[in-house]
Amino acid sequence: MTIYQQYVLPKMIDMACSTGNVMKARAQIVPQAIGEVLEIGIGSGLNLAFYNANKVSSIIGIDPAAQMQSLVYKRAASIDIPVETLAADIYGIDAESERFDTIVMTFTLCSIDNPIPALKEMARVLKPTGRLLFCEHGLAPEASVERWQRRLTPLWKPIAGGCHLDRDIAALIRASGFTIEALTTEYLPGPKLMSYIYSGSAQKAV
């Protein structure tokens, strides 16, 4: 891991993912979580303030960036929910099948190398009655924007932690064994290349 990847990039991602409009998008989805929660890509813990302590019993956060864990625990100290973080493999989550009531994933799927195997692993550890809550940026509906997303993604990925600008988030979730039960799509204020948001919830397909 380079110095840029270890020290500079995490701070840049934390800043980009904590802007006002992004935090408003988080605030719309995270409070829906209940029970035992698995957060995928917990990062620096930006979602922690939005969990409802009356509905959530515990949070386990997975993130490959172990250097972010100190920030998570600082933010966890201000909420009344037990929080644990793991620098774990998203393709082999260290948890029994059908353990979690809720899985939360915000602004994370863009940077997972192989999203479908990762989503299938999330489905494995989610209870049959559980829900996947997601808020992700991805492929825009306008042809002109989509073309530029596809052109720039190979250049963008190396400097943005593997972030893909051109992923069809809803299609990936559906292709991984989930049924989407609620979906909102919109542009947040900002460059259209990276501001088209997919937000909603899904359950394991029957």
pTM for this structure?
A: 0.92
**Is there a contact between 142 and 192 (Cβ–Cβ < 8 Å)?**
yes
Q: Is 197 exposed, middle or buried (0-12, 13-18, 19+ CB in 10 A)?
A: buried
**Tell me, which fold does domain 3-204 have in CATH?**
Rossmann fold (3.40.50)
Spell out the domain ranges in the chain: 3-204
Output DSSP code: residue 42.
Answer: -
Q: What is the pLDDT of residue 50?
A: 97
> For residue 54, what are the contacts with CB-CB under 8 A and spacing of at least 6?
none
What is the three-class DSSP state of 185? strand
- Could you read off the pLDDT tens digit of each residue along the chain, which spans 206 residues? 554 555 555 655 666 666 788 999 999 999 999 999 999 999 889 999 999 999 999 999 998 776 677 788 889 999 999 999 987 789 999 899 999 999 999 999 999 999 999 999 999 999 999 999 999 999 999 999 999 999 999 999 998 888 999 999 999 999 999 999 999 999 999 999 999 999 999 999 87
